[in-house]
Structure 1
Amino acid sequence: MKPRPDYQLQRNAFGRLELRTADGQIHEGVAPVRAFPITAPDDGLALVDPYGHELVWIDRLDDLPDDQRRLLADELAGREFMPVIQRIVGVGSFATPSTWEVETDRGRTSFVLKGEEDIRRLASPALLIADTHGIQFLIRDRHALDQHSRRILDRFL
């Protein structure tokens, strides 16, 4: 059995996360924030208060007891929305702004790419694409995409 942390984390009556520290202080409305959401999502997580002040640092999610890990995973799933592009079906034009039709891990969708600068290179071979609404789409490995998708993507890189 994993050791219990020196704090308690639970949902209050309104469904918001509540943190009780070892000294008995209660912090309402805490939020989990990943240090490295793409490259190391399970390593380094802070619990912050509504003003962004760090209250607790967690080295690894796997080190937490199952109930605490599930609670944080549920909260993170509700806060983070980053569809992973699995295939680029097509683009409206190779000039920007351009409408992209893609298949993601959450289904098929389309978005508008404002400019090539909205495609950011991460730790190779990952890419992060921002649409005009600020939604971030992730390509974990651009080399793993099918040939058609790679050919389209290469025109914008």
Structure 2
Amino acid sequence: MMTTQLNEITTAPAHNFSLRHNGLGRLVFVDADGGEHEGAIPVRAFPIGAPDEGIALVSADGHELAWIERWSDVSPEIRRMMEAELATREFMPEISRIIGVSSFATPTIWEVETNRGNTSFTLKGEEDIRRLPQSALLISDSHGIQFLVRDIKALDKPSKKILDRFL
């Protein structure tokens, strides 16, 4: 069928819209009447709790163009295009192990292992660690980068011990 190459149109028949990339690589939303909205942006409603449900396509000025309940509601081509756009915007390393912390008084420097490699960051205060549903945590560093701990119970014993001192 159609591909997601530059300037080729991929259609989502159930939603009466199509997507394509323009010459600059920006996503273009084409509505049922042929109206084009350059710079369309996919946005997840629940990026951590339900990343495959509730995805909006919004215009460059923030107006909703389409709402997609589930990825299964769109063609695989539309999904690939939107996931590629999301990947360029979403950056949330997932912590798999806490190697160490500089001290137990904040601010403190954390050395962690993530799905994107080892890194270090500064935690300003305990309030920068948020509990999420299903034993997950969201940790914000001093620069606003968010790190995800998907499941506290899945961490190794030393990592859990360090986290316990901050929670």
- Relative to the length of structure 1, the TM-score reads 0.96
Correspondence 1:117 to 2:127: yes
Which residue is equivalent to 1:93?
Answer: 103
| 2:84 alignment partner in structure 1 | 74
Q: CA deviation at 1:63?
A: 2.4
Backbone CA RMSD of aligned residues: 1.1
2:19 to 9, 33, 37: 9
2:73 maps to 63
Q: Structure 1 residue 5: deviation in Å? A: 3.5
The residue aligned with 1:36 is 46
Q: Which moved more, 1:141-150 or 1:55-64?
A: 55-64
Runs of 4+ residues deviating >4 angstroms: none
Sequence identity percentage: 62
Unaligned 5+ runs, structure 2: 1-11
Which residue in the other structure is 2:36 paired with? Answer: 26
Show the counterpart of 2:115: 105
- Number of aligned residue pairs: give it: 156
Partner AA of 1:97 in structure 2: P
Give the deviation of 1:62 after TM superposition.
2.6
Question: Partner letter of residue 145 of structure 2?
Answer: I
Alignment check: 8 A CA contact 1:45 1:59 kept: yes
TM-score by length of 2: 0.91
Contact map agreement 1:85 1:103 (CA 8 A) in 2: yes
1:113 deviates by 0.3
Which residue does the alignment assign to 2:9?
none
Q: Does 1:132 align with 2:142?
A: yes
Q: Does the 8 A contact of 1:4 with 1:65 survive in 2?
A: no
Name 2:159's counterpart in structure 1: 149
Q: Map Cα deviations across residues 71-130 of structure 1 (whole Å, 9 max, x no partner).
A: 001000110000000000000010000000000011100000000000001113000000
Decide whether aligned partners of structure 1 residues 18 and 3 sit closer, same or farther in structure 2, where only a CA change above 3 A counts.
Answer: closer
